[in-house]
Chain A
Amino acid sequence: MADTGNLQSLAHSITAVASPFRSYLNELYDKYHPLNQGAVADYIPELALAKPEWFGICAVTVGGQSFEVGDCDQLFTIQSISKAFVYGLALEDHGRAYVNSKVSVEPTGEAFNSIALDENTNRPYNPMVNAGAIATADMIKGKSSTDRLKRILDMFQRYTGRELDINVPVFLSEKATGNRNRAMAYLMLNFGMVSERIEETLDLYFQQCSILVNARDLGMMAATLANGGVNPITKERAIDEHYVQDVISVMLTCGMYDYSGEWTYRVGIPAKSGVGGGITAVVPGKMGIGTFSPLLDAKGNSVRGIKVCEDLSKDFGLHLFNVAKAERNLEDWIESNNVTVDW
């Protein structure tokens, strides 16, 4: 049989370019780029440097096709998005029972930085609020602080397929202004929910939030979860498949700060946002979506990112609980099958 590997690979890349789904994403970009609502986070000076016009959308299918529009190379800090993934690593380190005993999975209507623990069990409410994320970071194993950080960075590399760095000025600013988080950590220490290496764990937490990613990384991370924990392009396993559902569940119930209930109702795609402007959204078994736009609404979620996910969910019926026939069939749009309305 004749060798057709080159032809197939070129055909594959051209088909992705010609895919009506990429054009659909282009139109979303054009539709929401003019939207100038919201404000860039400015609680530390480094975040305030973000340009309001930055906007990138990346979707990666579980089959490894990648679609990008806009500023998908622009780096920004991952912030709270890291919480979901570090939670997965803690589960791998200790198993579900232990992790559950330290951090609950109950959504809270409180703000992400509230100083509140479950009154009966003294556990933080969930791993997506700061208290829960600090307790989760505390559980990450490692011989030293450097080793613990390296394990986190290695994990993100498995998800993204590339080596990631930390934005040191952001880390130092977060550390310098992080007294509220410090207070929470000590409160949890008082109840025996975290170990005594408080400063080390807080550093680790501030460092994990300062990891630099782009919209493509967020798309890839979500696609890896959607693909059962295996990066669809590098084929490397990023997380034990048994814990994928844990991570995705807390993303759905708690991932969008105190907008999570509304998000589940309207969009129904498990997602996690960060004040850097990123959103990573997991459509299980189908695709991952990464969006980046630093203009945030009052609850700390990216305004354009929410719009993009809303449209994708509505137009392709991606809501987890949708049973109605969607206006568009995702597979047809990606593979360019029988799409008659795309032109």
Chain B
Amino acid sequence: MPKVISIHSYRGGTGKSNFTANLAATLALQGSRVAVVDTDVPSPGIHNIFSLEPEITNKTLNTYLWGQCAIEDAAYDVSANVGLVGEGKVFLVPASVKADDIAKILKDGYDVKRLNDGFRRLVKNLELDYLFIDTHPGLSKETFLSIALSHVLILILRPDKQDYQGTAVTVDVARQLKVRKMLLTINKVYSGLNFDILRQKIEETYGVPVAGIFPLSEDVVQLASEGVFCTRFPEHLISQEFRNVAGQIID
């Protein structure tokens, strides 16, 4: 049965989009049909990682939310861009990067019901195994919705005080929304830190399992938001950690 996974972080810069793209690609590499929806309408970005050029994407999540197209018309097959061969597929529903479109959606808002209906239609019509929802940092309407309807919520944080505080807020909200399964992922961890102690401390603080710990990696930085790391370097330690996280989603 299909699963919906929301990826969220309280603050920006945690590497959320990169994480989402890599986790999606990891599942697709294992033969799954996966879609990613960029609900970060104020500051879209994940299309870069999937090498989807905004020039060719005249239909976006915005177009759908304004009732001008079906959600599947705004879904682009980026499997080839990611370097996928075989049965697995990755689709991306990008948000518009046009300043005027962003202004319009901020000014007029949108019907959150329509976003919900779009997610469900996408899962059905593209026969998805996994739907990933990439959200804007902080708490917003789409964050609440994605948390409420997802099967798995993954919160990404860095080991610093501001992220710790923000994550506590999000965990409260997620519990209020009766989230079904919550996982934490710690990203950009200095290699000098003891990962086991960090994991233990964080799990104790939030009462939420840590699904994965990712070191601050020059290898990832080199790709700099262009291309998906896991499909390029499948044997890298980081790619192995993504497979570990993917395993906990499949369960």
Contacts and interface: CB of A to CB of B under 8 A. Distances in A.
Contacts of A340: 1
A343 B117 contact: no
Contacts of B148: 11, 14-15, 17-18, 336
Interface string B1-18: 111100000000000000
B139 to A, nearest CB: 9
A340 B2 CA distance: 9
A7 B1 CA distance: 31
Contact of B178 (A4, A17, A336): A336
B41 to A, nearest CB: 17
27 contacts: A7-B172, A7-B173, A11-B173, A11-B177, A14-B112, A14-B144, A14-B145, A14-B148, A15-B148, A15-B177, A15-B178, A17-B112, A17-B113, A17-B145, A17-B148, A18-B116, A18-B148, A18-B149, A23-B116, A26-B120, A336-B148, A336-B149, A340-B1, A343-B1, A343-B4, A343-B120, A343-B131
B176 interface: yes
B123 interface: yes
Interface string A23-49: 100100000000000000000000000
Interface in A90-136: none
How big is chain A's contact interface, by range?
10 to 19
A341 interface: yes
Given A14-B144, A343-B4, A343-B123, 8 more contacts: A8-B176, A11-B176, A14-B112, A14-B177, A17-B148, A18-B148, A343-B3, A343-B120
Interface string B126-160: 00000100000000010011001100000000000
Interface of A: 4, 7-8, 10-11, 14-15, 17-18, 22-23, 26, 336, 340-341, 343
Contact of A17 (B1, B116, B124): B116
Nearest to A335: B178
Nearest to B120: A23
Nearest to A341: B1
Contacts of A14: 112, 141, 144-145, 148, 177
Contacts of A26: 117, 120
Interface residues of B, number: 22
A14 B143 CA distance: 10
A336 B4 CA distance: 14
Interface of B: 1-4, 112-113, 116-117, 120, 123-124, 131, 141, 144-145, 148-149, 172-173, 176-178
Nearest to B128: A343
Nearest to A4: B176
B145 A18 contact: yes
Contacts of B178: 15, 336
List the 4 shortest-distance A-B pairs measured between CB atoms, nearest first.
Answer: A18-B149, A18-B148, A14-B144, A343-B2
A29 to B, nearest CB: 10
Q: Which of A15, A18, A341 has the most CB of B within 10 A?
A: A18
Contacts of B177: 11, 14-15
Contacts of B117: 23, 26
Nearest to A7: B176
A82 B236 CA distance: 71
A214 to B, nearest CB: 18
Contacts of A4: 176
B3 to A, nearest CB: 8
A50 B131 CA distance: 41
Contacts of A343: 1-4, 120, 123-124, 131
Nearest to A340: B1
Q: Which of A14, A22, A336, A341 has the most CB of B within 10 A?
A: A14
Nearest to A23: B120
A93 B51 CA distance: 73
A343 B172 CA distance: 26
B156 to A, nearest CB: 21
A7 B113 CA distance: 19
Contacts of B112: 14, 17
Contacts of A18: 116, 145, 148-149
Q: Which of A11, A15, A340, A343 has the most CB of B within 10 A?
A: A343
Given A15-B177, A17-B112, A10 B144 contact: yes
Contacts of A336: 148-149, 178
Contacts of B2: 343
Nearest to B175: A11
B5 to A, nearest CB: 12
Nearest to B146: A18
B1 A11 contact: no
Contacts of B124: 343
A265 to B, nearest CB: 33
A14 B115 CA distance: 12
A85 B79 CA distance: 59
A327 B3 CA distance: 21
